[in-house]
Chain A
Amino acid sequence: MAQIEYIAFVKRDCETCKMVAAVLGALKQDVQVTIYSQDDPTFPESTGGAKDDTALEQSWRHNITIVPTVIQLTDSTETSRTEGWERADWERLCGPLREASALPEFRPGCGSRSTEPGMPERLSLRYGGLNLAARAIEVVEDADPMEVAFERGWTDGLPIVPPTDLRVARMLAGTTRRPDEIIGEIPPNLSTCTVEKAAINAVMAGCKPEYFPVVLGVIEAALRPEFSMHGLLCTLWFSGPVVIVNGPVTRRIGMNSGGNALGQGNRANATIGRALQLVIRNVGGGIPGEIDRSVLGNPGKYTFCFAEDESDPNWTPLNVARGAAPGSSSATLFHGDGVQGIQSWSARTPEELCRSLAASLWGVCHPKLAGWSGAILVLCPEHYEMFRAEGWRRTDVEAGLHTALRRPGKDLIAGAQGIAEGIDPARADEMVDKFNDGYLLIVRAGGRGGGISAAIGGWTGHRKTADVQIVTQEIKQ
């Protein structure tokens, strides 16, 4: 004969729980029922009080989201549950109820205290649902956790958010991936990076949990062999990873693609790029002055991440142009330097604007070198409007720039214009493309107010097209 018993979860601070108190009192006389109170063990008085679950352990173990909840156990195993008050459902579980005739047929319950913001992660840590694997570093009393982080070499020079267990647990709640899942090996030391290690560094960077899937996608992109993160880290050149995010995720987490998109002030832009850099520093061991040999570096090596403006459906987003499914979210990683402004107020036709933008883009790396480094052209709204008004789409802008970016080889060869820097003299009679195919990215971003776009110069490693490629990685939720 199967043994049937019941568990009920209530709290005093719930009108529905108070309403069903008399029903529970009568039920307790008829069947075996254990009642847990989340806030006050003297409640319900009709049952002579309840077991104390103010620490919420039983609520967490039984995955309670609503009070009241009644769970039916058959031979100690859950066979059914009902949430809130629905008389027919309670009677399905418990049989005919006394003291229920005066009650309405239905009344919704209240949220369980175990689901209050931050509480699931706190309970998961406390009761063994989440066991963090990373080494615990105890900060002695009176020491400042942020100073400890600096002393241990964990920061990029700016303060970090101390990675406490609760913050790491909340970050991990931002993904469905397991904490011990391995993302890959981070250069230069090729150390294994788990989802948990990424979460710790994302906490330190200042990320919110909802950014975490983007951070994971960005790390995966950086680890693709064709991106050559190792070489990018070691280079004498200025470059670091520049992250361009496309798709619905950018709206969901509030990334900036408008005014000051390349600047400060947006938490998602600022911290996602920083999280990648901290992973490379802390997990990979990429430290300036050690394996990072950059002669000058650039401020983007703290963080360089922004979203594309996808407000015009006629504009093909960067990720879609690079093969991603329309409507999907992606991170594109480019090996990039700082921002060079392009002033262009006077152009009146798309072709003229292309020539004007191209003249500035020729300055990338060196005005007499071609195919050495790629570039991102960040197209401001005013400039885009000039193309859009004439019906130009992405492919038209790309074609127009390609034409405008060709120059006679005789002007570029070594020694021409009294400058030794330059291309192979054997190419004097060719028309020469500034960029290798696929190494000029066009991205829409920025606020209104002026015809000023931006060139972001690329790594000189771009001249090795077989070894160093720009990558686009899908962001999975």
Chain B
Amino acid sequence: MRNDPYIMRDPTAELAPIVRQRIAPPTSLAGRTVGVLSISKERSDEFLDTVAAALQQQGLKVKRFRKPTHTKPAPEAMIQSIVESCDVVIEGLAD
């Protein structure tokens, strides 16, 4: 039994949980620009080249992006460029 209120101090960053709403996926890719982002892991190019070629065969516009290194987050300028120029993005996450 305790008399005083028992207080603990919050060890977290106290960020209100920001649940970002996802953009609804487009019903059709017709006329859209697809970003294809490599995170610079070994052999991801082989997979992404194949994906990009398949998309282009469907007449879609493809823009390629490549992170300088997979060990760090993508540079802010690259993220902004994707947001500005693409409607959807495919990210090659792992080996």
B-contacting residues of A (Cβ < 8 Å)? 132, 134-139, 141, 145, 148-149, 154, 162-165, 168, 186, 189, 191-193, 196-197, 200-201, 204, 228, 230-231, 236, 278, 282-285, 461, 464, 466-468
* Contact status A162-B72, CB under 8 Å: no
* Contact status B13-A149, CB under 8 Å: no
Please, which residues of chain B bring their CB within 8 A of the CB of A168?
9
Interface-centre pick from B11, B13, B70 (highest chain A CB count, 10 A): B11
* Contact status B15-A191, CB under 8 Å: yes
Residue B14 at the A interface, CB < 8 A? Answer: yes
* Contact status A467-B11, CB under 8 Å: no
Q: CA–CA, A147 to B84, complex, Å?
A: 46
Q: Which residue of B lies closest to A134 (CB)?
A: B9
Q: Which residue of B lies closest to A335 (CB)?
A: B71
* Contact status B9-A464, CB under 8 Å: no
Whole-angstrom distance between the Cβ of A373 and the nearest chain B Cβ: 13
Please, which residues of chain B bring their CB within 8 A of the CB of A193?
13
Q: A189-B15, A191-B15 are in contact. Are A200 and B10 (CB under 8 A)?
A: yes
* Contact status A461-B71, CB under 8 Å: yes
Please, which residues of chain B bring their CB within 8 A of the CB of A283?
11-13
Q: Which residue of A lies closest to B73 (CB)?
A: A230
Residues of B contacting A: mostly:
loop
Please, which residues of chain A bring their CB within 8 A of the CB of B9?
132, 134-137, 163-165, 168, 196, 200
Whole-angstrom distance between the Cβ of B1 and the nearest chain A Cβ: 8
Please, which residues of chain B bring their CB within 8 A of the CB of A282?
11-13
* Contact status A163-B11, CB under 8 Å: yes
* Contact status A134-B10, CB under 8 Å: yes
Known: A231-B72, A285-B12. 20 other contacts (CB 8 A): A132-B9, A135-B14, A137-B7, A137-B9, A138-B5, A141-B2, A141-B6, A164-B8, A164-B9, A165-B7, A201-B11, A228-B72, A231-B69, A236-B94, A278-B11, A283-B13, A285-B15, A461-B71, A464-B69, A464-B71
Whole-angstrom distance between the Cβ of B16 and the nearest chain A Cβ: 11
Q: A230-B72, A231-B70, A464-B69 are in contact. Are A136 and B7 (CB under 8 A)?
A: yes
Please, which residues of chain B bring their CB within 8 A of the CB of A230?
71-73
Q: Which residue of A lies closest to B14 (CB)?
A: A135
Please, which residues of chain B bring their CB within 8 A of the CB of A200?
9-11
Which of chain B's residues 1-40 have a Cβ closer than 8 Å to chain A? 1-2, 5-15
* Contact status B11-A197, CB under 8 Å: yes
Q: CA–CA, A89 to B20, complex, Å?
A: 70
* Contact status B11-A189, CB under 8 Å: no
* Contact status A145-B6, CB under 8 Å: yes
Q: CA–CA, A453 to B75, complex, Å?
A: 42
Please, which residues of chain B bring their CB within 8 A of the CB of A278?
11
Q: CA–CA, A284 to B73, complex, Å?
A: 14
Q: A145-B6, A236-B94 are in contact. Are A154 and B72 (CB under 8 A)?
A: no
Q: A138-B7, A149-B8, A163-B8 are in contact. Are A191 and B71 (CB under 8 A)?
A: no
Whole-angstrom distance between the Cβ of A287 and the nearest chain B Cβ: 11
Please, which residues of chain A bring their CB within 8 A of the CB of B11?
134, 154, 163, 197, 200-201, 204, 278, 282-283
Q: CA–CA, A259 to B15, complex, Å?
A: 43
Please, which residues of chain A bring their CB within 8 A of the CB of B13?
186, 189, 191-193, 197, 282-285
8 Å CB contact of A467 from B8, B10, B72: B72
Q: Which residue of B lies closest to A283 (CB)?
A: B13
Whole-angstrom distance between the Cβ of B68 and the nearest chain A Cβ: 8
Q: Which residue of B lies closest to A205 (CB)?
A: B11
Q: What would 16 A/B residue contacts be, using CB atoms closer than 8 Å?
A: A135-B14, A136-B7, A137-B10, A139-B8, A141-B1, A141-B2, A164-B9, A197-B11, A200-B10, A230-B72, A231-B71, A282-B11, A282-B12, A283-B11, A284-B13, A285-B15
